[in-house]
Chain A
Amino acid sequence: MHLPHSTLKQEFVKKWIMGLQRCKFSNNNMSIFERKKAIKLSADTAMASARKGLTCWSRALISNPDRPVPTTTRRASLACKKIVKRSRRIRRTAKCGAARKRQITRSIAQCLVRKRTQILKSLIPGGEFMNEVCLIEETLDYITSLRVQVDVMRSLASASVRASEPHN
């Protein structure tokens, strides 16, 4: 499942170029946003199909390519901090033996971890349906694929910038 970086890059580039060719931007009437959406769509689909259906996130991405733009999700961590403060207050008032402390800290840690896994599930395409083990494997794969995608797009963008420079 863990392909080497270079073969993944090759696959991605091939499929992306194919996809870009197929989106026929016939006129220049398309707005920049539509264009960007099409580029992103083709890139994402190329990325996912380069995985050849081995991973869950790739299948989910192909079936549902429109994902919300990632926004900052700090609210969950704030909620956890509130819980921590509240439990500290309780701890002070209650009789705290060592076992009790351990229990409390363990429950706090579990709460934090649970919040974060929820966030991660919302990030990974198709993540809501996985158990924790699969989630971590999928995250590994997804991160490598995203890196490949970013590398290729960045090199293409810099190449095009270099190309258009002499004519500005």
Chain B
Amino acid sequence: MESNAGTLETRSNRTALEREEVAALESLQFTDEIHRLMSAPATDNASSFTALLELPAPQAVQLIHSPDSAKLIAAPAPNVEDLKGGFHFPSNGGLIERAARFSVFAGEGNNKSDSPEATSNNSSANLPKAVKSEPAETESSQPLISDPTAENRGIKRKDREKVKGQTKKSKTTVKESSDDAEKLPYVHVRARRGQATDSHSLAERARREKINARMKLLQELVPGCNKISGTALVLDEIINHVQSLQRQVEFLSMRLAAVNPRIDFNFDSVFTAEGVPPQYLKELLITSGSLMDSNFSGMVMPMMWPEVQPNSNRQQYLQQLHFDAFQQPVWGREEVCNNYLTPENSLLSYDSSANSGNFLDTLNEST
């Protein structure tokens, strides 16, 4: 039971340190064990630390998002102050009772500035009871407080393999998800049963897990890759897919260039020369309208065509476009033309004959 408690403690250390997006599978496994322990009568004589952690550990799965869980153990930099603030266990009377019983916390309120030392003393007091891997834990918890800025360094639990009585060994990895701004300083990896615990191989394995997770995403994206097993063949399919997409882009751009050799993309001369009706523009609006805003296209369509001359309409439209483009001349700028829709909306109210002169002037200025 003590070994279980010891491992529970270390394991729950790990749960509190995990990032939010770590596999729920891990936490499920933890909660299984933890529930088992919870249902047993409270082993108060066992390491106080673990008893304290018995409650928060299952709730750590839900509390991972809250800063409270981070207070339990040495935490990354943003939570160090919380840690120093003391242990605030969320409303749990039974836990507070248990906390009150132990010497470390007896007579204290919640806030103690030397609670980190208290915890370390506590855990070191549990050394004889707990598993011998305990010192690895405490020693590593100290550098955690002092060095929170390291990113993704692995703490390798070399001693874990020697712990007996663990039926479940789970592997914990930290995914680098780029859309999460938080940075956890350490990657905690537990070795699988019967596998090497060399630090290099552990890092290798973590990396491979990351790669495999992303390969699965790629397999779902590329059609027809689900049934294939084996990295090389999947990569083959991905390469083929990318190549075919690139070739399609080439082909389509050639086709667009060839659609009408006399269409220059100002649309002006073509439409005047051939008298190509508003059909082209209509299609363009339909496609872009369906892409952008269906309401917009529905609005523009009925009102554009009753206006006087198709050519001048188009000119107005395109010159408005050009005008907007002129306002934001730089490609890489992130502000997209936000008023893209409004000039076209304003076109609706234009009297073409009155305003065509103005637009032609602007066009001449820009050229």
Contacts and interface: CB of A to CB of B under 8 A. Distances in A.
Contacts of B328: 18
B276 A139 contact: no
B287 interface: yes
A3 B232 CA distance: 28
Interface residues of B, number: 70
B276 to A, nearest CB: 6
A14 to B, nearest CB: 6
A78 interface: no
Interface in B138-164: none
Given A13-B291, A28-B261, A160-B283, A124 B253 contact: no
B288 A19 contact: no
A104 interface: no
Given A17-B288, A49-B331, A133-B211, A112 B232 contact: yes
A133 B261 CA distance: 44
B176 interface: yes
A39 B253 contact: yes
Contacts, number: 185
B11 to A, nearest CB: 27
Contacts of B252: 150, 153-154, 157
A133 B331 contact: no
Contacts of A142: 242
Contacts of B176: 133
Interface string A122-159: 01100000001100110110111011011011111101
Kindly name the residue among A39, A133, A144, A159 whose own CB sees the greatest number of chain B CB atoms within 10 A.
A159
Contacts of B250: 40, 69
A149 B249 contact: yes
Interface stretch (B16-24, B53-61, B334-342): B334-342
B340 A14 contact: yes
Nearest to A44: B249
The interface residues of chain A, by DSSP majority, are classed as: helix
Nearest to B338: A14
A164 B336 contact: no
Nearest to A155: B287
Interface in A1-18: 1, 6, 9-11, 13-15, 17-18
Interface residues of A, number: 74
Interface string B246-258: 1111101111111
A136 B211 contact: yes
B361 interface: no
A162 interface: yes
A116 B325 contact: no
B248 A18 contact: no
Nearest to A163: B280
B77 interface: no
Interface of B: 176, 178-179, 207, 210-211, 214-215, 217-218, 221-222, 230-232, 235-236, 238-239, 241-243, 245-250, 252-266, 269, 274, 276, 279-280, 282-284, 286-288, 291-292, 318, 321-322, 324-325, 328-329, 331-332, 334, 336-337, 340, 367
14 contacts: A6-B291, A26-B264, A36-B258, A62-B331, A62-B332, A70-B246, A109-B230, A116-B232, A116-B236, A136-B218, A142-B242, A155-B287, A157-B255, A159-B283
